[in-house]
């Protein structure tokens, strides 16, 4: 059977190796780990690899992915990372054991949904410690926690923070200590134990590895470092991990020698951009069967060092293959390593075949 293109090749065994290294680091600190496979749309093979490596729960930002993960029979708690949508409260309570919340209003909606379904739902109160994405401002947190403690069918189990996503703020001893202090204030105000302190995502791993992470931080939500083997603060390789965990393969559908600068009067392109071009003379150019509808073309790196991505349209990827070191011809396959953003698009696109590779 001929493999289709474009295709995304996933290597769950290699991802599992990465997961074991990262999870062992977290467990040595006394923390539990939520495995985040959202960048692969919770691909079952990837989720299973993370579970076998020792993840304590499965987490995702999309309730649809959690529904799929729940169907795998993992027998581990599920956590919804995205702020709950009020209109989906019943599905959220049904398929997510724990949610991350940033307002009393969200907690009230979940409480009512849980009451109607006859279950108790667990919630984490997110605290904004500086990244300015989701979270209650620290000086409001105790008031929210006290009110949440009175809600029926809802158990506030801890606090959490998100960093290095929107504002790029790096996890530090100072902002992690602030999170611990806020938890203590919420504990005093509410009378709840609040045992869980979720100290962030993969961006928290460098602080953890340095030995400076406060001991009270006992939960992490880890995705990118496991799946791509990268330090998310600078995208360097995380020590001991593999980076050959995912691969994009596209196919050449046109191969022609052309000038490197368009000819004629130019306006904006199809995406409203005004593009500048480097004049490198006449070059051998290839067009592949993938485009910006499927991925971020700026986020894919050709595995052949002699190939360069020039740009892309909705459906086509344009390459300079003049200096390619691998055979280039019509119908030839070209392999790429995607970064996190590109992988997210590839996983989401229904036009990209997903293939599991073992070993």
Residue 286, domain CATH: 2.40.30
Catalytic residue among 38, 143, 212, 354: 38
- What count of other Cβ atoms lies within 10 Å of the Cβ of residue 73? 7
Domain shared by 70 and 178, yes or no: yes
| Predicted pLDDT of residue 170 | 96
Whole-number Cα distances in Å, 258 to 48, 211, 250, 322: 47, 55, 21, 11
CATH code for position 168: 3.20.20.10
| Predicted pLDDT of residue 278 | 86
Q: Is residue 236 part of a domain?
A: no
| Predicted pLDDT of residue 312 | 95
- CA 57, CA 74: separation in Å to the nearest integer? 9
Q: Is residue 5 part of a domain?
A: no
Domain shared by 330 and 184, yes or no: no
- CA 318, CA 280: separation in Å to the nearest integer? 15
Domain shared by 321 and 277, yes or no: yes
Cβ atoms of residues 163 and 130 within 8 Å: yes
- CA 6, CA 30: separation in Å to the nearest integer? 42
Cβ atoms of residues 183 and 197 within 8 Å: yes
Q: Please say if 38 is a catalytic residue.
A: yes
Domain shared by 168 and 306, yes or no: no
Domain shared by 65 and 176, yes or no: yes
Cβ atoms of residues 53 and 21 within 8 Å: no
Spans in the chain with pLDDT lower than 70: 1-2
Domain shared by 225 and 256, yes or no: no
Q: What is the tens place of the pLDDT at every residue in 38-56?
A: 999 999 999 999 999 999 9
Domain shared by 252 and 343, yes or no: yes
Domain count for the chain, please give it: 2
Domain shared by 77 and 185, yes or no: yes
Helical pair 173-190 and 138-148, crossing angle rounded to 10 deg: 30
**Domain ranges, residue 221:** 12-229
Domain shared by 212 and 319, yes or no: no
- CA 15, CA 227: separation in Å to the nearest integer? 5
Q: Is residue 279 part of a domain?
A: yes
Stated pTM of the model: 0.94
């Amino acid at each position: 059977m001929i493999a289709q293109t474009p295709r995304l090749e996933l290597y769950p065994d290699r991802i599992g190796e990465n997961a074991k290294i990262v999870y062992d680091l977290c467990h040595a600190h006394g923390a539990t780990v939520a495995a985040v496979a959202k960048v692969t749309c919770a691909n079952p093979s990837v989720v299973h690899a993370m579970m076998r490596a020792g993840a304590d729960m499965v987490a995702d930002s999309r309730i649809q992915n959690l529904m799929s993960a729940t169907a795998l029979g993992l027998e581990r708690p599920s956590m919804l990372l995205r702020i709950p949508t009020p209109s989906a409260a019943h599905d959220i309570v049904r398929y997510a054991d724990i949610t991350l919340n940033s307002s009393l209003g969200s907690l009230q909606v979940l409480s009512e949904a849980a009451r109607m379904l006859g279950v108790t739902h667990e919630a984490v109160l997110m605290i904004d410690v500086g990244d300015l994405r989701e979270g209650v401002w620290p000086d409001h947190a105790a008031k929210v926690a006290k009110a949440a403690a009175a809600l029926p069918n809802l158990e506030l189990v801890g606090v959490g923070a998100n960093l290095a996503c929107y504002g790029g703020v790096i996890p530090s001893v100072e902002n992690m200590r602030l999170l611990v202090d806020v938890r203590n204030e919420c504990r005093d105000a509410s009378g709840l134990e609040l045992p869980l302190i979720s100290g962030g995502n993969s961006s928290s791993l460098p602080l953890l590895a340095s030995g400076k992470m406060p001991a009270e931080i006992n939960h992490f939500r880890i995705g990118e470092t496991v799946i791509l083997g990268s330090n998310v603060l600078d995208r360097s390789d995380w020590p001991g991990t593999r980076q050959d965990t995912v691969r994009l393969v596209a196919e050449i559908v046109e191969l022609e020698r052309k000038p490197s600068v368009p000819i004629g009067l130019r306006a904006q392109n199809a995406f409203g951009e005004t593009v500048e071009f480097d004049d490198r003379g006449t070059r051998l150019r290839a067009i592949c069967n993938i485009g910006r509808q499927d991925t971020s073309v700026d986020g894919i790196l050709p595995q052949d060092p002699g190939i360069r991505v020039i740009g892309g349209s909705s459906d086509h990827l344009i390459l300079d293959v003049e200096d390619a070191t691998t055979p280039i011809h019509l119908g030839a396959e070209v392999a790429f390593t995607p970064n996190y953003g590109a992988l997210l698009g590839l996983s989401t696109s229904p036009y990209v075949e997903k293939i599991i590779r073992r070993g």
